[in-house]
Amino acid sequence: MTLNDFLKSKAYVLKSRPAGKPTPDDFEEIEVALPALEDGQILLEAKYISVDPYMRGRMSDQKSYVAPFEIGQPITGGVVARVMESRSSMFHPGDMVMGMLKWEDIQIAWATEVQKIDVELAPASYYLGLFGLTGLTAYFGMMRIAKPKPAETVVISGAAGAVGMVVGQIAKIMGCNVIGIAGSPSKQRFLTEELGFDYAFDYHDLQTLEENLHRAAPLGVDIYFDNVGGEVSDLILNYITHGARIVICGQIALYNDPKKAVGPYPQIALIKNSALMKGFIVSDYADSFHEGQLELIKWYKEGVLKGHETVIQGFDKLPETFISLFDGKNTGKMLIQV
């Protein structure tokens, strides 16, 4: 007899594939009866659950590199959890771990699916943000694709989001002129006052944005780290320099509305400027995750890299918190504390 013989867990499954922006009705909370642990398995209690814009892509049934979520099956994503019980020599009860796990408050996983985290070094939740897939996304997008050089100008859309805020800090560490684009005065102050960005601009009025860009990037934009897409990106492409690198990390402005996914061809700007545009997903660099994490942790210890989170309390808030990402409700990493 084990602990989980007495336990039932709650899980969120995908109920329907959203047509545009997801709604709470696309999710369903179900009760799950947990089977007994097998050898090599661990019983986990979720502490923090990550919500990320890329998960919208997995809700659609389209060809993509990451498999779509299955209807009726639990959503999966980044989770930090405490080990309640272990039938693996790798973990002991009380250990804190992270992994790509289910939106389930109590769940069974294979020991090989998770990694132990060091909660002495930093808050446990940072392993979903700064040291997790979002931090690694920023790290590899910058260090493997953009390859910033000192004094280059870097523009970041969605700059106050989980990835963008790390991208800008890495660009500062590399000695760049850093311009963040974010949608509210409080986000803009956060970028310049808390994180040391050189400039932070609003995007709602494109003409004002263009004037600001002229002033802050008089020699043009060497690196554009794009989390958003659409009209803002069209504008910035007019200002790229010869040899510019455009990192396509997200296109959140386009995810929910296919009609918006039409605009001026960027090919014209690319050919005029011998510029590079590269899409990626963090798992492309899975072989180097350890290297990336060590570097992020080193910068954090040195005090040149900061984390920032928007934490919402309660497992039941998962659907609406995820949906709020598309309204720009978060500053920094958005997550649920269970």
Residues in touch with a second copy (CB under 8 A): 57, 62-65, 226, 229-230, 233, 242, 248-251, 254, 261-281, 284
Count CB-CB contacts under 10 A for residue 288: 15
| Contact partners, residue 162, CB within 8 Å, separation at least 6 | 52, 129, 134, 330, 332, 333, 334
Q: Whose CA is closest to 155, among 82, 52, 227?
A: 227
Residues paired with residue 101 on neighbouring β-strands, in sequence order: 77
Least distance from a second copy to the Cβ atom of residue 226, Å: 7
Whose Cβ is closer to a second copy: residue 62's or residue 89's?
62
Question: Regarding beta strands 221-226 and 240-248, do their DSSP bridges make them parallel or antiparallel, or are they unpaired?
Answer: parallel
Cβ-based burial of 62 (10 A; exposed 0-12, middle 13-18, buried ≥19): exposed
Whose Cβ is closer to a second copy: residue 100's or residue 254's?
254
Whose Cβ is closer to a second copy: residue 40's or residue 279's?
279
Least distance from a second copy to the Cβ atom of residue 88, Å: 33
Whose Cβ is closer to a second copy: residue 37's or residue 253's?
253
Q: What are phi and psi of 79, to 5 degrees?
A: -140, 135
Whose Cβ is closer to a second copy: residue 24's or residue 243's?
243
Locate the DSSP E strands across 34-150: 41-50, 76-86, 96-102, 106-110, 114-116
Least distance from a second copy to the Cβ atom of residue 192, Å: 27
Least distance from a second copy to the Cβ atom of residue 231, Å: 11
| 167 neighbors 142 (Cβ within 8 angstroms) | yes
Least distance from a second copy to the Cβ atom of residue 276, Å: 5
| 319 neighbors 27 (Cβ within 8 angstroms) | yes
Least distance from a second copy to the Cβ atom of residue 222, Å: 15
Whose Cβ is closer to a second copy: residue 90's or residue 276's?
276
